[in-house]
Structure 1
Amino acid sequence: GTSREYDARMEERNRERYAGRKDVKLPKTFPGAEQEGERLQKVLARAGYGSRRACEELIEQARVEVNGEIVLEQGLRVDPEKDEIRVDGLTVATQSYQFFALNKPAGVVSTMEDPEGRQCLGDYVTNRETRLFHVGRLDTETEGVILLTNHGELAHRLTHPKYGVQKVYLAHIIGPIPRDLGKQLKDGIQLEDGYARADHFRVVEQTGKHYMVEVTLHEGRKHIVRRMLAEAGFPVESLVRTSFGPIALGDQKSGWLRRLSNTEVGMLMREVEL
């Protein structure tokens, strides 16, 4: 149609009009303005993605986005405070954020300090330059993965019911257990503060009347796994949280603290839409 011809003509005219002005440098408003921001590869290197050279390779491989656009040029200047930087689609924590997973031993209180001098999470964090928050809590007698970070918003969201982050627990109970225990837990157990439902249940191993069972849920209420199993008739002998969202305990020893990998941090952030 004629309108397309007209568009094409207009576009050509605009191109001619601007063609001669391509390399006109606009005056900088203040000296050193072209030095604004920080080079992208430097920001990535500081966030833990390897050497600057390794970070340049990430950019070359088209794996880095800034504000939704894939970056291909080297040396792009960014503002780590405001720009959203992603590697392989996962958000990069650009500020000096720290993220740790602790395998909390039994008997340790889930607070950063304890006025009564009992062992607490703070005892496991040696570098105290930054204030770390614990993400949710574990009962004192429960062991397993608990996250520590100085990223307040992440800590807040990860414990918010809206995001329903899944947790996996391994419980030692004394049987025999009925065939339909899993179904009971998934259908929901009536507790004094409302129903509680498991997402998954399986028997991991059995020795005589000793059962190790795995319970997965996204509930965050106090003592929830202990209360559910007790209500079903099986008080918990011991309990370990083996994963919190995408962060698994793996073979991390009791009482050990480890720094999360960039991928793990990215997965946590994706979990809560950060």
Structure 2
Amino acid sequence: MNPLDTQVLRPGLHSGRSAFVSGAGSGIGRAISLRLLALGMDVFGTGRRAEALAETAELAQGLPGSFRFEPCNVRETEAIENLVKRVGEAHGINLLVNNAGGQFFAPATGISRKGWDAVIDVNLSAIFVVTKAAYPYLKARQGTVVNISLSGVDRGSMGIAHSIAARAGVLGLMRTLALEWAPDNIALNCIGPGAVFTEGLAGEAAQAMLDRLVKATPMGRATRVEEVAELVAFLASPAGHLMTGQLIQLDGAAHLGSGLHMLEA
């Protein structure tokens, strides 16, 4: 297929191709899954809550692609490795979206070792485990990996030292794998959304922080989950496949302005 024929993401563009999406039960992961399904891709979604995944499946009814799901915690190494293997062997993997993650707001001095380990585990170690498990299936189809990160992750952000450390690690991992896996024609990138308002927001503190980030965004608005989903679809298309090893900041120039890195927790 000529990449120049794929500049417009039209229905059917991804027909016959398969995606594995973590955190597919809500927010950004749900939006990504529905967009890929609308373009004709078959999507396997996972997440911790079966009921949330079932809701995504209901929303997917009538879309060209098929949606399958199975609950799994990405922090449970053996379970997620086995799930990736089963999906890869049964359906193949053209696209891996590492979207599952989590964090809480606190100054570095207020983060316990237990809290640190939990955030590092879900936002860094689990991505290594899932991506490594998906490698043979991505190699077979010259696939794509997209990691959902944060705006300004390369600058630091006050109040989320654990999350920034983890996601900075993902940047290093992604860029290393972009080099190691380039001969296999596998593309790997990170998307750094700005403030994203989803049903997954936990507590007034998180809401207040996102409100302040929007005010500090030069374009003056939050990032929509649909915008993240559209960028993922582009990166998974032939037109986007030469882009690899990149952090794409989808944040209305928040990473260039005062941004989250200057806001207190």
Q: Which has the higher helix share?
A: 2
TM-score, structure 1 length as denominator? 0.28
- Greater Rg over alpha carbons, structure: 1
